[in-house]
Structure 1
Amino acid sequence: MRYQPGTVASIEQGRGFPPRVFVERAEEVRDAFGVLKGVYKHATREKGLASWFRQWADLEEQAISLYTWENRLVPGLLQTDAYARTLFGGRIPMFTDSEIEAQVTARLARQALLDDRPNTLFSFIIEEHVLRRPIGGTHVMRQQIEHLLAATEPRNLEFQVMPAERGFHAGLNGPIRLLETPDNEWFAYCEGQENSQFATNPQTISVLHMRYAKLRSQALTPEDSRSLLERMRGAL
């Protein structure tokens, strides 16, 4: 299989979700006549499972490319403590104080990826109105914008803003997350109100890639996006 025994055990016991190459190798080793590939295709269509995000978080830690389009909120990897705390504090159904702390801690812990993976290409595109929505008030948003300015400095992080003056664009269907593994496999993750979808289907990922490429061309350049952030900070 060319995988560590612990990885195989995790997948066999349902704790981890297998990448496509794992299934292809398993087909060969077990001489399964396409049965595993058939089951895998249907399994990837399951929706609304909280385990999908745990699988995505595991893949994030090894990704060599990570693309994020957001038109609702500042992406979790770029949120400040105060911004995240405001979101979790206003959640419905409500979290307890201890649950808020646990959620904020987990979110901030994920941000270590930006420092720990200097060879990973991070690309973020955010709708301008997200940055103008005063989540937590003026002080919180000023801190958030300052944080974004600091986060956009590394060469491996690309940050773009979709300007409000842009009418129709390729991201109106909702957020997009794409990542590439060291084996050059691509996965996608999309969130809804009370459900989420982890996608491995090549056709689905191809469509999302096309949309993301179009978003990159429609958004402001990284340099113009940074200038816009600086003007926003000055206005607060």
Structure 2
Amino acid sequence: MSVDETGTEHGDAGADEPGWDVDPDDESGAAVVAAVGRQLKAWREAAGLRAGEFGAAIGYGEDQIYKVEGGRRIPRPEFLDRADSVLGADGKLAAMKQDVAEVRYPKKIRDLASVEAKAVEIAAYVAHGLHGLLQTPGHARALFEARQPSYSQDEVERMVAARMARQSIFERSPAPALSFVQEESALRRPIGGTMEWRRQLERLLEIGQLRNVTLQVMPTHREAHPGMDGDIDVLKFRDGSAVGRSYGAFGGRRVTDAKQLRILELRYGIIRAVALTPRETLALIEQMLGET
């Protein structure tokens, strides 16, 4: 899924929506956008077009052209496609969509996706809600739209796209070992309405049947367990290193120390032992699906 692929024409108002500004704290992303902007300006000037003329030809305002060329605004995929066609770049400008694809996503999400992409094992317990790797687009969108202060719709779509991009981890080869424990209450909350709730349950059934995935549900009627303080994540890498985090331990910081990681793994192991088995979990999800 990508952001804003409807192909509609944009004037100044449509093209200048919030959410596509370059993050000043994202140095690597800003460098990519600046390089793309310089290339666009070079091609435009070589074609003998003024910024206003070029903008009119591709459906954007003059001010927006200056922002993109100046590296202050991230160009959308359709912007680069139209620029390539109007400037006769034979695919050279359109090819830069790949360069800016990841820059569209917030830096902290790109960093998270990068860490997940390197992991050979991921273990995750989520105390509230569903893990981002398990969410459907509609489920994620409903969560972002419920945030306060509210995000613009453009920002919502950017974050949904970023969350869905992380799910490419399920297509990796060799496949990483993925283990998830979810609270039952998260599966029973109809985020996004009944139809989206059904799609989410169907997605969980699909993921839970993957051979490299272990999906378990913590029943609501279980008594206290080591995850009551908050989420737990442990990621292990090919070189034998690992990183973990729990909001209920070590001040919520990421940890790499072997002793601290053992504590998180101990807690996660007990959580798994208390939760439903994977077979019982799939049966429960099927039951929920039948009840919707």
Deviation, 1:138, is: 1.7
Corresponding residue for residue 133 of structure 1: 189
Counting only pairs closer than 5 Å after superposition, residues 209-228 of structure 1 correspond to structure 2 as: 209-228=265-284
Deviation, 1:86, is: 0.1
Instruction: Note if 1:186 corresponds to 2:242.
Output: yes
Contact 1:64 1:182 in 2 (8 A): yes
Instruction: Note if 1:60 corresponds to 2:116.
Output: yes
Whole-angstrom distance in 2 between the partners of 1:116 and 1:91: 32
Contact 2:129 2:186 in 1 (8 A): yes
- Report Cα offsets for 1:77-113 as digits up to 9, x if no partner: 0100110000011111211111001000000010010
- 2:261 corresponds, among 205, 211, 218, to 205
Structure 2 counterpart of 1:73, one-letter code: G
Deviation, 1:202, is: 2.4
Q: Check 1:118–1:73 CA distance in 2 against 1; reply closer, same or farther (3 A cut).
A: farther
Whole-angstrom distance in 1 between the partners of 2:210 and 2:174: 8
Deviation, 1:57, is: 2.6
Structure 2 counterpart of 1:215, one-letter code: I
- Report Cα offsets for 1:114-145 as digits up to 9, x if no partner: 11244310000001011111212222111100
Whole-angstrom distance in 2 between the partners of 1:216 and 1:186: 19
Instruction: Note if 1:105 corresponds to 2:161.
Output: yes
Percent identity of paired positions between Structure 1 and Structure 2 = 36
Larger radius of gyration: 2
Could you list the runs of 5+ residues in structure 2 that have no partner in the other structure? 1-26, 29-105
Whole-angstrom distance in 2 between the partners of 1:95 and 1:56: 21
Corresponding residue for residue 41 of structure 2: none
Contact 1:145 1:233 in 2 (8 A): yes
Q: Check 1:187–1:56 CA distance in 2 against 1; reply closer, same or farther (3 A cut).
A: farther
Contact 1:52 1:196 in 2 (8 A): no
SS in structure 2 at match of 1:199: coil
- 1:174 corresponds, among 212, 230, 240, to 230
- Report Cα offsets for 1:13-56 as digits up to 9, x if no partner: x98xxxxxxxxxxxxxxxxxxxxxxxxxxxxxxxxxx9776544
Contact 1:163 1:219 in 2 (8 A): yes
Whole-angstrom distance in 2 between the partners of 1:53 and 1:202: 26
Whole-angstrom distance in 1 between the partners of 2:195 and 2:245: 32
SS in structure 1 at match of 2:229: coil
Instruction: Note if 1:157 corresponds to 2:213.
Output: yes
Q: Check 1:173–1:75 CA distance in 2 against 1; reply closer, same or farther (3 A cut).
A: same
Contact 1:59 1:181 in 2 (8 A): no
Deviates more, 1:82-91 or 1:55-64: 55-64
- The one of the two structures with greater contact order (alpha-carbon pairs below 8 A, sep at least 6) is 1
Q: Indicate the RMSD between aligned Cα atoms, in angstroms.
A: 2.2
Higher normalized helix content (fraction of residues): 2
TM-score, structure 2 as length reference = 0.60
Corresponding residue for residue 46 of structure 1: none
TM-score, structure 1 as length reference = 0.74
Structure 2 counterpart of 1:149, one-letter code: L
